[in-house]
Each structure stands twice: as C-alpha cells, then as structure tokens.
C-alpha cells in the first residue's frame, strides 16, 4: 500500500497488528507518554521505552526528525502516517541513520532518510515506501543506501547518491531477499551482492543501472534511459512527465492512487504536481538541424505579477507558429516528431518566429506571454498544471511532416 494521503486510512487499517501502538510527533510538547493525545517527540525515545516490546508499532507524524534511529534488539514496525514527502529522518552524525540489530528484523515504512554515509544498516529488515538519499558527496568511500547481513525485503523505494545502493555485508547465505518496484539512481553500484548469498533472491520491476550480482535474478532487464525525476539537485524525487518508471512496476502490486499500474519508486506519479516549470519530452530536429528548446520566465499566477512568459529558441526564422497546451502529458508520434501533450489540446495566440529577415536559419523564436487575461478567457483555475509545446511551420520537410516541434514544459498556476 502506497503512503499517500488519499490512502492513509486504508494503510493504517490494513497494517493492524497484535502489539501496542506508540505515537511520535516532533512538534508535540515533550516528553510525552506515547499516546495519540500526548505523543513522544523523538522516534528513539519511543524505541527505548521499557514498555516498547517486540511486535509493537511506532506511528510517526509528519516532521523532520534529526536523530539516529536504532531499533537495538527489538523487532518493531516504525512507519510514518503521511509518507516520505512529509516525514524525514536526518542523521546528524556519520553513523547509520537507521540501525536494526534484531535477529528477526522489523519494518521501516514511509520515510525520507537523509544520511552522510549509511542510510539503513540491518540484519534483516522490511523497507517500504522510503526515499534513502545521501547528502552531497563527501571524501569517503563505502557509502550505502542499505547494508544488510541476512534478509532484505524492499518495495517501492528510491535510493539515490551512494557508492552502493544496497549491499550485502557477509558471504554466508541467510535466505532469499526481494527488491520490488524500487528506483536506484546516481549510485556508483546500484546493487553490491556476493554471489554466494543470493540463492533465490530477486530484483524485479525496478529501475537500476549497474549491478555487481551475477546470480541475482533481475526482471525486466536494466535500462540505460534516464528515469525521469523532477529535480535530483533539489532532492525532489517526484516522477517527471513521461518518466520510464510510470506504470512500470509490478502488475500484481496494489494500484497507484490514480488507479493505474504501480509506478517504480517511493513517490507515485502525480500529474497535478508542478513545483517549478520543468522541461520534458524530446524536440524534433528541424530541417536546418536545430532542436527548438522551450523555457520560461516569471511565475504563472492568477493574481500575482502578470509576468509569466514562454520562449522557444532555435526555430526556423520567418515562420508562423503558436504554442499548444493541455492539462496532461503524452508522447505521440506527430509530423515526424513527438506531440508531447495529450489531446484535447488548446492552440494559443498565432505568432511569427521572426529572426533574420533574409535567408533561412535557426534565428527564429516564439515568445508568448501566458497572461492572466488569457487564463481568465480559457477558464484556467488556480492549481492547474499546464503542459505546453511550441509548434511552427517547416517548409524543409514535405507534408505531413512540415512542422517544427519543441520539447515541452510543465508549470503550475498559482492563485
């Protein structure tokens, strides 16, 4: 079950267990007693209580938890109530951000774990719906998103920026491990495993780039394509429009919140998400060998400064054109290129690329203020997410391919 707000009640109901439930809220008044009304204020505080025993669950409310979480020998289920977008564990030291020593492991679910060196260190552990990310690279070797010595079960996770995405730390076989619906990105080695420890282990329906695990069963095969993340530099691991990870997860997994096949990674694709204007899709190379590229300036807003402008450069000069837009992305073959928006589309104001007055070159551009009056005319609501692409004529290609197409841009509309 994905840790998304619309499914929160279902998630909590479906993970009931026989032990006690303790609550943690970093924003509560300390010290707390672990009840829903008076929660503890630190995860480690909840773990260390004598009354917290094997089989208990620790429910963690949204917030940033600057602490090292050490289960010790206890077998616990530590999970957030709101998922990795709202709940972080940030290691303040060079230790593992999360450590699990219990022989039977436990569960970690619904966190964004940030660490300097090791994200999670465990014997056996189940990890679900977690982003595990390394801070900016340091002059230290041997970092790992997850290190384990016995059995690992991982589902719907995103692991970014380590020497090893996951690593098995001993040679002895302990039992089959399973990694499913998981996205590895920006790691030197996504999977570092000893061939002697892999009997029956599987890495399925995941995005991975490299793996030093010749007997680890992998399906489907590794892909070299970019996974399509929104902004790795800003630690934003939302799937971008047209990401190869959308609807690419295990068909047997529960459906995503939008009712589609499970996505790969900790954060399911959300077509209504647009943190900042971001380009996606592939431009068509025009008849002069140029790739038209779209960008933006200002902020799309219904009531703030009326300054949002779309600009596309490297177009053929002196050609008629316009922007086309819709409320959803898609990649459809069109005019020898790719239509990057989903029908039905809206055609914007007719423009001309201008540029050099003589000859034919790539000096043209399309500049279009996406104004508040235009949005009002088209009944664009606050919170809408717009997908736009530039189109112009290209007489260097025969019909029906006599068109120029830029890449596309997605942006949100503020109130």
Chain segment 77-126, per-residue pLDDT in tens: 999 999 999 999 999 988 899 999 876 789 999 999 999 999 999 999 99
Same domain? For 46 and 165 the reply is yes
pTM for the structure as a whole: 0.86
pLDDT tens-place string over residues 266-323: 999 998 899 899 999 999 999 999 999 999 999 999 999 999 999 999 999 999 999 9
DSSP letter string, 178-204: EEES-EEES-SEEEE--GGG-TT-EEE
Same domain? For 200 and 140 the reply is yes
**Residue 263, domain member (yes or no):** no
**Residue 169, domain member (yes or no):** yes
**Residue 208, domain member (yes or no):** yes
Q: Check residue 232 and report its DSSP letter.
A: G
**Residue 384, domain member (yes or no):** yes
Average pLDDT, the chain: 90
Structural domain that includes position 330: 278-412
Same domain? For 229 and 312 the reply is no
DSSP letter string, 324-391: EEESSEEEEEETTEEEEEPSS-EE---EE----SSS--S-EEEEEE--HHHHHHTTPPTT-EEEEEEE
Same domain? For 234 and 326 the reply is no
Reported confidence tier of residue 14, pLDDT bands at 50, 70, 90: very low
- A 10 A CB-CB count for 213 gives 22
Same domain? For 171 and 301 the reply is no
The SS3 call for residue 9 is: helix
**Domain final residue pick, 208, 239, 270:** 239
Same domain? For 169 and 293 the reply is no
Residue 330: which residues within 8 A CB-CB, separation 6 or more?
242, 339, 340, 341, 342, 343
**Nearest in space to 293 (alpha carbons), one of 321, 312, 308, 310:** 312
Using alpha carbons only, what angle is made at residue 91 by residues 106 and 193, rounded to the nearest 5 degrees?
Answer: 55
d(CA 192, CA 147): 10
**Residue 252, domain member (yes or no):** no
Same domain? For 160 and 284 the reply is no
Q: Are 393 and 403 in contact (CB under 8 A)?
A: yes
Same domain? For 155 and 296 the reply is no
pLDDT tens-place string over residues 133-189: 998 765 567 899 999 988 899 999 999 999 999 988 876 556 788 999 999 998 888
Same domain? For 329 and 406 the reply is yes
Same domain? For 80 and 186 the reply is yes
**Phi, psi (rounded to 5 degrees) for 310:** -95, 135
Domain count for the chain, please give it: 2
Same domain? For 21 and 104 the reply is yes
Q: Give the CATH number for residue 374.
A: 2.60.40.10
**Domain final residue pick, 176, 209, 239:** 239
**Residue 46, domain member (yes or no):** yes
**Residue 248, domain member (yes or no):** no
**Residue 272, domain member (yes or no):** no
d(CA 239, CA 229): 5
Same domain? For 219 and 302 the reply is no
The SS3 call for residue 86 is: coil
The pLDDT value recorded for residue 203 is 86
The pLDDT value recorded for residue 225 is 74
Which tokens in the block code for residue 351? 């423009």
């Amino acid at each position: 079950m994905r840790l998304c707000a619309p499914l929160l009640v279902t998630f909590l109901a479906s993970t009931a267990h026989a032990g006690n439930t303790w609550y943690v809220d970093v924003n509560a008044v300390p010290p707390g007693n672990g009840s829903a009304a008076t929660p503890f204020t630190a995860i480690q505080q909840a773990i260390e209580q004598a009354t917290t025993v094997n089989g208990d669950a620790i429910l963690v409310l949204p917030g940033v938890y600057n602490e090292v979480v050490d289960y010790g020998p206890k077998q616990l289920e530590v999970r957030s109530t709101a998922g990795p977008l709202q709940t972080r564990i940030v290691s303040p030291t060079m230790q593992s951000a999360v450590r699990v020593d219990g022989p039977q492991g436990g569960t970690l679910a619904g966190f964004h774990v940030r660490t300097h060196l090791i994200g999670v260190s465990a014997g056996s552990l189940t990890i679900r719906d977690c982003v595990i990310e390394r801070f900016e690279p340091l002059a230290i070797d041997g970092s790992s998103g997850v290190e384990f010595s016995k059995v690992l079960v991982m589902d719907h996770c995103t692991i970014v920026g380590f020497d090893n995405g996951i690593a098995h730390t001993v040679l002895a076989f302990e039992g089959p491990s399973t990694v499913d619906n998981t996205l590895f990105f920006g790691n030197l080695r996504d999977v570092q495993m000893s061939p002697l420890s892999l009997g029956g282990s599987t890495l399925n329906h995941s995005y991975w780039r490299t793996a030093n695990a010749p007997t680890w069963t992998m399906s489907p095969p590794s892909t070299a394509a970019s996974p399509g993340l929104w902004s790795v530099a800003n630690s934003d691991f939302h799937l971008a429009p047209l990401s190869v990870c959308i609807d690419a997860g295990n068909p047997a997994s529960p459906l995503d919140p939008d009712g589609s096949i499970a996505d790969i990674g900790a954060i399911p694709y959300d077509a209504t998400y647009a943190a900042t204007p971001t380009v996606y899709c592939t431009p068509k190379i025009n008849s002069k060998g140029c790739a038209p590229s779209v960008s933006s300036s200002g902020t799309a807003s219904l009531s703030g400064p009326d300054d949002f402008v779309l600009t596309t450069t490297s177009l053929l000069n002196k050609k008629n054109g316009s922007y086309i837009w819709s409320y959803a992305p898609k990649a459809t073959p069109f005019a020898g290129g790719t239509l990057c928006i989903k029908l039905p589309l809206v055609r914007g104001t007719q423009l001309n690329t201008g540029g050099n007055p003589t000859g034919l070159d790539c000096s043209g551009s399309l500049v279009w203020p996406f104004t508040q009056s235009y949005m009002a005319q088209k009944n664009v609501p606050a919170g809408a997410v717009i997908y736009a692409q530039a189109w112009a004529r290209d007489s260097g290609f025969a019909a029906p391919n006599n068109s120029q197409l830029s890449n596309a841009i997605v942006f949100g509309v503020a109130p």
